[in-house]
Amino acid sequence: MVSTLLRASAFGAVIFSLSSVAAHAACTPAIGDDNLVAPGKLQLSINPTNPPQQFVDKDGQLQGLNVELAQELGKRMCLPVELVRMDFPAMMPAMTAARIDGTDTGMFWTEERSKLMYMVPYAIQAISVVVPPDSGTKIASEQDLIGKTSAVEVSTYQMNWLKKLSDTSVAKGGAAVEMRTFPTATNVVSALLAKQVDNALLVDSVARDLVGRGRVREVLTGLGLARTTLTFRNKTAAEAVVKALNAMRADGSYQALFDKFGLTTMPADQPLAIAGPGPA
């Protein structure tokens, strides 16, 4: 499991080493140092506020699908993986500035993003709308969000999806969505439960985890269905991860991992591969 908790100077982040150098001493790393930000390790950012994808347990240890996926990829690539904890808005600037190699946070694929980094889709997710468990609010369709106050995580796919919905309504002479943004999904849920907003938009797996714990009620789901990705600044690194992912798919460990956490894999007829052109 996760080991070697270190405090990082950049971004106020915390780095979690997922595999030791000794564990890889007998094999050749799939990614050479000339394709890595730091020699001998792959550094990926993560925001552990989205269970069951990624979260911190009561002992302060990183857990979740993306954590175990990174650990397994590291083993298969003979390369230690370090997960650098940071809020989502800081991730793309950090990668652009060559402070990390990529992200391991389930970033939604968009055409615009695919031109800024190498994106490797590995899961399917959507957006869910949630309300407090004692709320009588009924939302039958996305149009019922118009005129309401919604909480959403800043700089995310769900924020952009909601903004497009609002802008389309306004362009047709209708009302807007009053959108309030927060740095993490945890903050979004706190605002919702404090009755600061009418509803909140979350990634569907996060919403269902909260429903299972009785914290929220899901009133609408399946919005903006899209692929979620691992992302990289370097194509060679992305290609090495693609090879390891396909090996996991071939031996069944990919499906088994997703079944364990109740998330949806990429359809069998869709390749695990870089999607989009990558940086110009």
Round the average pLDDT of the chain to a whole number and report it. Answer: 92
Whether residue 13 is found in the same domain as residue 100: yes
Whether residue 61 is found in the same domain as residue 107: yes
State the Cα–Cα distance between residues 132 and 179, nearest whole angstrom.
17
pLDDT of residue 3: 36
Total of domains in the chain: 2
Is position 114 within any domain? yes
Average of per-residue pLDDT across 97-109: 97
Residue 83 has pLDDT above 80, yes or no: yes
Q: Which residue, chain included where needed, has tokens 């790393």? A: 29
pLDDT of residue 223: 98
Question: Do residues 18 and 81 lie in contact, with contact meaning Cβ atoms separated by under 8 Å?
Answer: yes
Is position 30 within any domain? yes
Name the phi and psi angles at 105, rounded to 5: -135, 10
Tell me the longest C-alpha to C-alpha distance in the chain. Answer: 65
Enclosing H/E stretch for 73: helix 65-77
Task: Give the other-Cβ count within 10 Å of 165's Cβ.
Answer: 20
pLDDT of residue 10: 41
Q: Which of 225, 241, 274 is the last residue of a domain?
A: 225
pLDDT of residue 26: 73
Tokens of 178: 């009053």
Residue ranges making up the domain that contains 189: 126-225
Whether residue 148 is found in the same domain as residue 240: no
Whether residue 111 is found in the same domain as residue 17: yes
Whether residue 216 is found in the same domain as residue 149: yes
Packed helices 65-77 and 253-261: angle between N→C axes, nearest 10 degrees: 160
pTM given for the model:
0.89
Q: Which residue, chain included where needed, has tokens 């302060």? A: 60
Is position 271 within any domain? no
Whether residue 212 is found in the same domain as residue 160: yes
CA distances from 160 to 30, 131, 156, 163 (A): 36, 20, 6, 5
Q: Which residue, chain included where needed, has tokens 């030791």? A: 20
pLDDT digits (tens, 9 = 90+) for 182-233: 999 999 999 999 999 999 999 999 999 999 999 999 999 999 999 999 999 9
Identify the CATH number of the domain in which residue 200 sits. 3.40.190.10
Identify the three-state secondary structure at position 91. helix
State the Cα–Cα distance between residues 192 and 207, nearest whole angstrom.
12
